[in-house]
Each structure stands twice: as C-alpha cells, then as structure tokens.
Amino acid sequence: MAEGALFDLAGNVLQLLGSIIVEEVKLASSVETEIENLTNTVSTIRAVLLDAEKQSSHSHQIKDWLNKLKDVLHDADDLLDDFSTQVMCRKVMTKKVRLFSSSSNPLAFSPKMGHEIKAIREKLNAIAKDKEAFHFSQSLVEPQVMTRGDRETYSFVLEDEVIGREDDKKEIMERLFDDNVVENISIIPIVGFGGLGKTTLAQLVYNDENVQKKFEIKLWVCISDIFDVQRIVKEILKQLTKEKQEESLEMLQNQLREKLNGKKFLLVLDDLWNEESNKWLLLRNLLMGGARGSRIIVTTRSESVVRVIGATSWHALRGLREEKAWRLFVKVAFENGQLPKNEAFVSLGREIMGKCGGVPLAIRTIASLLSTKATENEWQSFKVYELSKITQEEENVVLSTLKLSYYHLPSYLKQCFAYCRLFPKDFMIDVTTLINLWAAQGFIKLSDSKQRVEDVGREYFMVLLQRCFFQEVQKDDCDIISYCKMHDLMHDLATLVAGMESTLLTLSGEYNGKKVRHVSLDLEVSTRKLSIFKVKELKIRTILVASVGGKLGNLTCDAIISNLNYLRTLDLSKLNLRVVPHSVGELKHLRYLDLSNNEDIKFLPNSITKLLNLQTLKLYYCESLKELPRGLKNLVNLRQLDIFGCNGLTHMPLGLGHLISLEILTGFVVRQGGSKASSGSWYKKKQAKSGGGLSELKKLSNLGGSLVIGELGHGEDDMVECKATNMKQKQHLQDLQLCWKSWDDGETKCYDDMSLEGL
C-alpha cells in the first residue's frame, strides 16, 4: 500500500460493505449485526486517517499504528471480496436476480462469515482504541493540497554557479522581449518536475541586466502550497511600498492597481500548484492595470496549472544533456572544478553522473558527497554500495523535493503511482496495460455506471503525466499516448513510497514474505528463489514478469499458483508455457490474467470460466490457440479480451454477446458456417454449431480501441449478420479492420459492399 493511501483502502472496504452484493449477504440474520458493527468501526477509523497519514511523517508510533491498520484492512478487503464472489457465483449459476430466493441459501456460508467478520472487527476495535492516544482530527474530504512544511524561494542567484541552462534562458528571454504580443500581460510558464531547476532558470532571467532595463517594476513571489490571493497581493505590495499592508482585500486591490497602473512589470510566481481557475482569475484581474508588455513568469510542476492560467504554450524544462551535466558534476565534485589527473576518477565520475538522469539537483547532491571522498577505492565503493541506496533514502534532498509532488496527489492517485515501482527502470510502459493493472487492484473509481474504466483510467494517467510523474514516449495513429516511461528519479520515488509491499525479485534482491503484496519477477531468478512462493498463507496480490524471455516449468507454475490464493494480477506472459495450470481457476480474486506470447498453448482450461472477477484476459500472440473456453460467457466482469495474433482460432464461443462489460475486444473470428462450409470436415461442422456469429457483437456497445474482424464471408447470410452487429452505435471504437475469406466469385461481390454498408 502506497504511503498516504490508507484513506482510499478504508473507502474500498466501506464500499464493499455497502454494495448491493454485500447488502444481500446481510439478509442472513446471523451476520447482520457483525456487518453493521464493522461498518461503524471502519467509518470511525477512516474519519481520522487523513490527519494520521499527515502526522506519520514525523512520528514512528503513528507509522506503526498505520501499518497495523493497513494489514487488517487488507484482510477485511480480501474477506469481503471473497463473499461477494460467492454471491456472484450463485447469481451466474442460477441466473436469478435475487440470490436468496430459497430459504436454504442464506445459511450456506453465514456461520463462517459471521466468525471471520467478528475476528476482523475485534482487531479493528483494538486499533481504533489505540488511536485515542494520538488525538487525531477528523476529516472525510481530502484537501486539495497536503502541506509538508514551508518552501520559500528568492530571486537572487549567482550566474556563475548555474551550468547548462544557456539555451533555456535564451528562449525565455526571447519571449520576454517579444513586442508582437497583443495582450497587456502575457504569461510564460516553465514546467518540469522537482529538481530540474525551474526556480534557478527564473532567477537567471530575473537578474539579467537587460531585464532590469526592460521593466520598470520587478516582483518575485513564492507561492508554494497555498494559493491565497490576499497573501500574494500583500507580498507584492510589500515589495513595492516597504510598508505594512491593509487587511481588507478591497483596500489591497485598490492600492495594487494604483501602484501598477500604466507601468510595465515583470512578476515571477514561483512554485505554483493551484488548479482552481476562479482563484487564478481573481489574481489575474487585479494585475491587468499594467502597461502593455508586462510579463508573468510562472514555474510549476504541472501542465494542468498551465491550462488553468490560460497559457497556450509553455517552456518544458528537461534534464541537462550529457556534456552539460558533466560540466556541472566536475565543478562540484572535483577540487577547484578541475579534472583530476587520475583517469580512474573521470571514468567513475562519468558512470556515476549518468545515474543522475541529467537532473541538476541530483547531480549536485551526488557530486557534493563524492567531493569528500579522496581515494579511488572510496569512489568505487560509493558506486557499488551506496549509489542505489542514497537515491531511495527518505532523507535525500532530491527525493524530498520530488515528494512534494507526491503529497499533492489525492490518495487514489498515490497508489496508482506507487504501483509503477513494479516496472524496472527505463521500462517502456504500455498505457492500456497500466490502466488494466490499476483496475485489477481496485484503484480506479467510477462515479456512475455509464463511465468506462478505460476512460477514467486514462484520465488518471493524464493527470500523472501532466504533473511530470511520467514522460511521454510514443503515440499511436490516433494521436493517443500508447507508451510512456518514468524518469529514474521518479522510479526511486515510487520505490520509496511503495515501501516493503512492492518488490522486484532478483537473484540479489531482498524479499520480505510477510509484508510483500506485489511482486515483479526477473526471469533470471532461480527455481530456488521461486520456492519462496510455495510458503502457505502468503498475501501476494500481484505477480508481474519484468523481463523478456525465460521459461517456467508447468509443475513449478502450478505449485506457485496453488499457494497464492489472494492474487488479483497474474502475468504468465513470455514463459514458453505449453499448458495453463488447471489451478488458475481457483484464483477467485483474480482480475487480470496475461498469457500473451506463449506460442505453444493450444487450449485453455475450462476452469478459467470460474474466474468471475476477471476483468482482463490477454492472449496476445498465442498463435497455436485453437479455441476459447465455451463457458467464457460466465465472465460477466470481463472488460478486455486481447486475442490479437491468435491465428489458430477458427471461431468465437457462443454467448460472447452476454459480456456487456467488454471495453476492448481486439479480434473476432467469424464462425465457419453457411453453404460454403456445409460440405467440410466434421470439425468445421462442429465449429459452425458451437461458434458465435457476428450478431454476438450487437450488445457490446462499450467496445473501444481497435477491433479486427476476420474470416468474413461473401454470401447473403453473411451480409445479414453484418447488419446485426450494430457497429454504428459503438461510439468508442477507434479502429475497425475487416478481413474477408480469400475465395470469391462474381456472384458474391455485391454482398461484400452490402456487408460494409450494414456495419
């Protein structure tokens, strides 16, 4: 669980308790009281969590209290998910809207449920009692900003100390001196994550002597956490008049207009976080009296802020290029900023500097530490033993700076970001996959039933991207971001806030079986290392494959799966599997199953159709796969079915149209039926009877992304089926590819055109 995200976990538990499914379970009188008591206890605890998580940064006792709470809330989440799955299973099996229509049903599991809920409640009651010693304040609404101490900046900088920002300064200066701007006041945003030097760049520009001559008035205000218009105006007037300011905003605004009226000014608003447009407009209107050519420079970590202030373009600050980064490193690390004669120091220095990712704050921090180490052995030891640790220590100044951005996230985005710790550094992250992984853990919240998880998840991603937690790497043909990366320092931050619950399992990596819930596997891990998963009662929720290529024996795979009863995400891709273990069907909590790129898999076990919580099933390039399980229609929560590259498929299972939650279906193979196939093999005739036709697509109105329909026929019956797909109503679909059978004759060509019209 990500640091600061317990508030959201408690909300999940309450949501489960209050859901329709759990409400039906409450009809069993033996557990009704226990559920009500548990709801009250969780609600009481949740009311103080925002304050508790805020105070935990400076109290080990509160941290310990939160860790105990976290473990019990996870247990409650698993327990309630278990019962809701049982209810869902009965609904699917009986096809009834009401589960407890017979008098025997409520008694089937209620005694056990009552005992387990009571045990959870008693643990939570003890934890709730302990909280009284901390005197937490209550709040159920997350503040827009979580304040973590003051950060004050100033306008002065020694230009000689700044290296590598000449081009950036030149670009800002050109915009400052552009006389073709129509507006009286134009805004120049500088955007980038913490540590890149946004403030330093603004200082360079602010103190340039040409800027001194250009503007009658220069003002510098550090905004930081709280955007308080009255405080900002007071600070501006304090710099203008050197006098004590009035308290009334009306008096302040009159005085401000008088001082700025008709004068060309430069105002720097440093470290702006505000995303409320009404507050910005209030301040902007107070500044409109300045002369034409006035400028406001804004530094911020968020592109969302840029949109709020109405700027149409901005200066995106990047890391220093290698040679400029090296110049800065040399200046700080070596005596008098001169390269040493010993080439070993130069070689080690370049290697260490490369780990800083071009971030000036990181370079200065690491280089200053090295400046105190005089021998080659000390530098070598630092590279091998200290470098990877120092960037992950909470006390580190680089991460402390980046952590400010993290504290400004709502709790549901905190856990989304922290989950990305499972990807290796420099990993190309598929955005759609990332969204599905978040959804599998319950991180994505829908405000109403009309929303699509894909859409809300992408909104989450875009917020994190705009706040510089991700870097845009690649867009698809529809100009939608398809892949992204995390900067190495952002990855270090994710590792820090994720804590012991998430780990990348390597031969040399540490593993805390009691605490870990999310695991990413390096496929070079030995069988001996994998044996840790055979321990009973593990609470692991995620297993991802972090590297490309490798092999996992079927027996080993089966043994691992059999012990991980709480898995919600299971990645078995690229493992050269021939057979999918039948035991996968026992993973009743499973939401995400990736079997992609296992070219030798021919069939899936029917037990997969028992995974009623399954949301994502990825079979990408399982080229030998002959058919999908017949009971696939039971997977009522399935949102994504990826069968792209499954060239061995000859038909789709009957009942696919029942999966109305489907948002992504990458392929549809039309059954081999009709007059042309009637004289074929027995197997083809069987497919024609068991396979679903194109009409299965009719009710799948939420389909989006790309869909390939293969093996389209040319006859009149095929044309009629095409009309039944109702493709015109699938407003989220971005790309549709149609593939006809290779045989053709003049008699059927007209039906092809009619099929297209029908779609």
pLDDT (tens digit per residue) in 702-720: 888 888 887 776 666 666 6
Q: Mean pLDDT over all residues of the chain?
A: 83
Residue 151 pLDDT level (bands cut at 50, 70, 90): low
**Measured distance CA(63)–CA(158) in Å, rounded:** 41
Residue 730 pLDDT level (bands cut at 50, 70, 90): confident
Residue the block writes with tokens 């009623």: 612
The alpha helices in 478-575, defined as continuous H runs, are 488-498, 527-530, 554-563
Grouping H, G, I as helix, E, B as strand and the rest as coil, residue 556 is helix
Q: Which residue has the higher pLDDT, 248 or 510?
A: 248
pLDDT for 1: 63
* Digit-coded pLDDT (tens) for 204-231: 999 999 999 999 999 999 987 778 899 8
The set of residues, in sequence order, having a beta carbon less than 8 Å from that of 189 and lying 6+ positions away, is 297, 298, 299, 300, 305, 306, 309, 311, 314, 315
The set of residues, in sequence order, having a beta carbon less than 8 Å from that of 527 and lying 6+ positions away, is 553, 556
The set of residues, in sequence order, having a beta carbon less than 8 Å from that of 148 and lying 6+ positions away, is 57, 225, 403, 404, 407
**Measured distance CA(629)–CA(616) in Å, rounded:** 15
pLDDT for 402: 79
The region of weakest confidence among 164-178, 242-256, 492-506, 654-668 is 242-256
Question: If residue 743 lies in a helix (H) or strand (E), which one and from where to where?
Answer: none
At residue 48, does pLDDT exceed 60?
yes
Can you spell out the DSSP letters for 409-465?
A: S-HHHHHHHHHGGGSPTT--EEHHHHHHHHHHTT----SSTTS-HHHHHHHHHHHHH
Phi/psi at 474 (nearest 5 deg)?
Answer: -145, 140
Q: Which residue has the higher pLDDT, 721 or 588?
A: 588
pLDDT for 415: 94
pLDDT for 439: 97
pLDDT for 99: 42
Asked whether 420 and 471 are in contact (CB, 8 A), the reply is no
C-alpha distances out from residue 247 to 145, 224, 244, 255, Å: 24, 21, 10, 12
Average pLDDT of the residues in 89-116: 59
pLDDT for 172: 96
CA 19, 22, 28, 33 dihedral sign is negative
Asked whether 294 and 218 are in contact (CB, 8 A), the reply is no
Asked whether 620 and 644 are in contact (CB, 8 A), the reply is yes
Grouping H, G, I as helix, E, B as strand and the rest as coil, residue 587 is coil
Question: Above pLDDT 70, what percent of the chain?
Answer: 82
Q: Which of 5-19, 398-412, 534-548, 631-645 has the highest mean pLDDT?
A: 631-645
The alpha helices in 60-208, defined as continuous H runs, are 60-94, 110-130, 166-176, 198-206
CA angle 341-345-348, nearest 5°?
150
Asked whether 27 and 115 are in contact (CB, 8 A), the reply is no
Average pLDDT of the residues in 722-738: 80
pLDDT for 683: 42
Question: Above pLDDT 90, what percent of the chain?
Answer: 39
Phi/psi at 515 (nearest 5 deg)?
Answer: -105, -30
Average pLDDT of the residues in 191-195: 89
At residue 335, does pLDDT exceed 60?
yes
Residue 176 pLDDT level (bands cut at 50, 70, 90): very high
Residue the block writes with tokens 């998880």: 453
Q: Which residue has the higher pLDDT, 24 or 159?
A: 159
Which of 603, 643, 639 is closest to 624 using CA atoms?
603
Residue 144 pLDDT level (bands cut at 50, 70, 90): low
Q: Which residue has the higher pLDDT, 743 or 499?
A: 499
Which of 558, 593, 561, 560 is closest to 578 using CA atoms?
558
Name residue 502's beta-bridge partners.
518
The set of residues, in sequence order, having a beta carbon less than 8 Å from that of 92 and lying 6+ positions away, is 612, 634, 636
CB atoms near residue 600 (< 10 Å): 12
* Digit-coded pLDDT (tens) for 361-411: 888 878 877 887 888 888 988 888 777 666 556 556 677 777 877 887 888
Asked whether 596 and 572 are in contact (CB, 8 A), the reply is no
Q: Encoding tokens for residue 699?
A: 């009710």
**What does DSSP assign to residue 68?**
H
At residue 149, does pLDDT exceed 50?
no
Tell me the whole-structure pTM to 2 decimals.
Answer: 0.77
The one-letter amino acid code at 558 reads D
Residue 441 pLDDT level (bands cut at 50, 70, 90): very high
C-alpha distances out from residue 553 to 6, 557, 562, 581, Å: 38, 6, 14, 10
The region of weakest confidence among 194-208, 449-463, 469-483, 489-503 is 469-483
Distance between start and end Cα atoms, the chain = 46
At residue 679, does pLDDT exceed 90?
no
**Measured distance CA(568)–CA(581) in Å, rounded:** 16
pLDDT for 103: 43
The one-letter amino acid code at 337 reads G
**Measured distance CA(575)–CA(561) in Å, rounded:** 14
The set of residues, in sequence order, having a beta carbon less than 8 Å from that of 664 and lying 6+ positions away, is 432, 454, 639, 640, 641, 642, 703, 704, 705
Residue 169 pLDDT level (bands cut at 50, 70, 90): very high
Asked whether 284 and 290 are in contact (CB, 8 A), the reply is no
pLDDT for 531: 64
Average pLDDT of the residues in 318-336: 91
The alpha helices in 467-548, defined as continuous H runs, are 488-498, 527-530
Q: Which residue has the higher pLDDT, 302 or 468?
A: 302
Residue 729 pLDDT level (bands cut at 50, 70, 90): confident
Residue 57 pLDDT level (bands cut at 50, 70, 90): confident
pLDDT for 528: 56
Residue 97 pLDDT level (bands cut at 50, 70, 90): very low
Tell me the residue length of the chain: 759
At residue 572, does pLDDT exceed 70?
yes
**What is the pairing mode between strands 471-475 and 481-485?**
antiparallel
Grouping H, G, I as helix, E, B as strand and the rest as coil, residue 13 is helix
Residue 145 pLDDT level (bands cut at 50, 70, 90): very low
The region of weakest confidence among 125-139, 142-156, 247-261 is 142-156
Asked whether 272 and 299 are in contact (CB, 8 A), the reply is yes
Average pLDDT of the residues in 632-658: 92
The region of weakest confidence among 116-125, 386-395, 420-429 is 386-395
**Measured distance CA(486)–CA(703) in Å, rounded:** 29
